[in-house]
Amino acid sequence: MSSKKLSVLITGCKPGGLGNALAREFHSRGLRVFATARNASALADLESLGIETLSLDVTSRDQITAVASDIAARTGGTLDILINNAGRGCIAPLLDVSDASIEGVFNANVFSVVKMVQGFSPLLIAAKGKIVNVGSISSLLPLPFHSMYCASKAALHQITDVLRTELAPFGVEVTEIISGGIKTKFMETVADPLPEGSLYKAIEGSFASKREEIEHWVDAETFAIELADQVLKSVPPKWYWMGTSSWKAWFATSFLPQSFKFSAFKGLHGLDKLTQLEAEKRNATS
């Protein structure tokens, strides 16, 4: 009798993103992959490979409940791996970030993960499965103009640690991927336009686009291979740092003084230029 395939559900699987690469990688390793996106019609490339695709808005508890019931019917009530990959970025000065962006980022990066874990916990507990939350080095670093993204990933970091302790009695492993840069389409549309009168208008072009920087980041396919290697271990790591600059972030946050983080970032993304412009203004009026 053939053994039952391991099953994995991955959120945020649209083409051009990490989730899409993960779906392909786990499928290539023989797992039964459930790839999800807000609209499953966007996942035709995965469906053509024989991957099962489903529509899922991770911010909707009703949709999560419906999909969990669907998966339970397909698998006999179990899910071996849940990868919470879907998320949203936000690039804007804290003084200018909109209410809509704040709510959108926390809904996508924090509250959706809580809802997904709650909705799929019966299946994961039945399988003594694994939860993988895709976090970010931003959770530990004061990156200028990324305050809401940093804050949401910091919240996810703490939620993941607490969840790990709470699910340990039930045999569910919980891993946080502390991700550095990945070359995907994720960063293409995350910058909020600055309002007229913004104190940061003079340097808007310095932080709104990261295209040149992204070109040097690790590609999603390579990232997916390494992530799958770790997740499929019999005992996966509790935290795993990977992606461009992740080792630098690990070293800085592990061994360097807190003051280093402020001094290292205070001149990034045009802030050095803005500091100079403000000094020139003060000198001109003195």
For the chain, the three-class secondary structure string (H helix, E strand, C coil) is CCCCCCEEEECCCCCCCHHHHHHHHHHHCCCEEEEEECCHHHHHHHHCCCCEEEECCCCCHHHHHHHHHHHHHHHCCCCCEEEECCCCCCECCCCCCCHHHHHHHHHHHHHHHHHHHHHHHHHHHHHCCEEEEECCHHHCCCCCCCHHHHHHHHHHHHHHHHHHHHHHHHCCEEEEEEECEEECCCCCCCECCCCCCCCCHHHHHHHHCCHHHHCCCEEHHHHHHHHHHHHCCCCCCCEEEECECHHHHHHHHHHCCHHHHHHHHCCHHHHHHHHHHHHHHHHHHC
Mean pLDDT by 10 residues, the chain (286 residues): 83 96 98 97 97 98 98 98 95 93 96 99 99 94 91 98 98 95 67 87 75 68 95 96 82 81 73 86 82
- pLDDT on residue 266: 74
- pLDDT on residue 215: 61
User: Alpha carbon of 125 to those of 116, 119, 133, 172: distances in Å?
Assistant: 14, 11, 17, 6
CATH topology of domain 7-285: Rossmann fold (3.40.50)
Cα 48 from Cα 120, distance rounded (Å): 26
Residues belonging to the active site: 149, 153
- pLDDT on residue 179: 87
- pLDDT on residue 267: 67
- pLDDT on residue 242: 87
Domain regions of the chain by residue span: 7-285
User: Alpha carbon of 88 to those of 30, 59, 136, 150: distances in Å?
Assistant: 29, 12, 12, 11
- pLDDT on residue 1: 39
- pLDDT on residue 208: 61
